[in-house]
């Protein structure tokens, strides 16, 4: 089975329970492989249910088509029985699924697109259901009979990325991560609301800490500290 997901690092983390179920479904003699890009490749590091990771550079499709075609041809030669397109919006992934797997293809039926016409099975993409539930629904629609675990606690439960289960602390703590990365600023909550939440939690006996990456998020954290009076 080939899983296709070229974007969304966070969504790739949400796919982890599906990858485990998929590996269990294909059995020890089967293989579950993944086609990704540099955007989400890091989420697949050390995941025990992925037998191979193939990285596609989107720029190759336009600037170095020969290189991209060699990758696609090598994937097609692996004779995948199923291509699972876990991208909801990209229009290139149904074409890649078609190029890489001729037997069966499954993916999302997204509003305003016609991508699902290239699939043998599809699930309607919906804003009313959590992404992890939609991924599990597509896996089931594609024929996987293994139950998919809930995402909550999954990473710590399986010791992925060095995570450990929560332990009971003597003092209540809250960790804020206000930034959404360099390209996710549209989803960020106003800093004044973070400051108000920090004040409310502190009044309830919480110790509030801040997390971030890079100069931009460090600046955001300084502003939260100032607006919340420390």
* pLDDT tens-place string over residues 88-126: 989 999 999 999 977 999 999 998 888 999 999 999 999
Helical (H) or strand (E) element with 12: helix 9-14
49-70 average pLDDT score? 95
In angstroms, rounded to a whole number, what is the distance separating the alpha carbons of residues 183 and 188?
10
Mean pLDDT of the chain: 93
166 pLDDT band (50/70/90 cuts)? low
Residue 177 has pLDDT above 90, yes or no: yes
The pLDDT of residue 180 is 87
What is residue 198's three-state secondary structure? helix
Residue 43 has pLDDT above 90, yes or no: yes
The pLDDT of residue 33 is 97
Report which of 63, 19, 59 is spatially closest to residue 39, judged by C-alpha positions: 59
Q: What is the dihedral of CA 217, 212, 181, 193, to 10 degrees?
A: -70
The pLDDT of residue 213 is 85
In angstroms, rounded to a whole number, what is the distance separating the alpha carbons of residues 127 and 36?
24
DSSP 204: T
Angle 71-137-145 from CA coordinates, rounded to 5°: 85
In angstroms, rounded to a whole number, what is the distance separating the alpha carbons of residues 21 and 148?
6
Helical (H) or strand (E) element with 208: strand 207-211
35 pLDDT band (50/70/90 cuts)? very high
């Amino acid at each position: 089975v080939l899983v296709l997901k070229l974007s969304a690092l966070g969504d790739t983390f949400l796919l982890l329970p599906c990858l485990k179920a998929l590996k269990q479904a294909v059995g020890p003699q089967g293989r579950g492989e993944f086609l990704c890009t540099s955007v989400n490749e890091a989420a697949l590091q050390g995941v025990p249910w992925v037998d191979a990771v193939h990285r596609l550079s989107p720029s190759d499709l336009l600037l170095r088509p020969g290189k991209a075609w060699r990758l696609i041809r090598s994937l097609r030669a692996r004779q995948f029985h199923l291509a699972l397109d876990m991208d909801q919006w990209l229009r290139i992934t149904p074409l890649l699924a078609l190029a890489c797997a001729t037997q069966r293809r499954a993916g999302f039926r997204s509003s305003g697109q016609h991508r699902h016409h290239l699939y043998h099975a599809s699930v309607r993409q919906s804003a009313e259901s959590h992404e992890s539930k939609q991924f599990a629904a597509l896996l089931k629609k594609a024929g996987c009979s293994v139950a998919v675990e809930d995402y909550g606690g999954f990473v710590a439960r399986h010791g992925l990325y060095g995570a450990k289960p929560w332990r009971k602390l003597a003092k209540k703590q809250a960790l804020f991560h206000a930034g959404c990365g360099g390209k996710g600023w549209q989803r960020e909550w106003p800093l004044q609301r973070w400051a108000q939440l920090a004040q409310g939690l502190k009044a309830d006996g919480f110790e509030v800490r801040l997390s971030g990456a890079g100069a931009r998020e460090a600046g955001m954290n300084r502003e939260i500290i100032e607006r919340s009076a420390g």
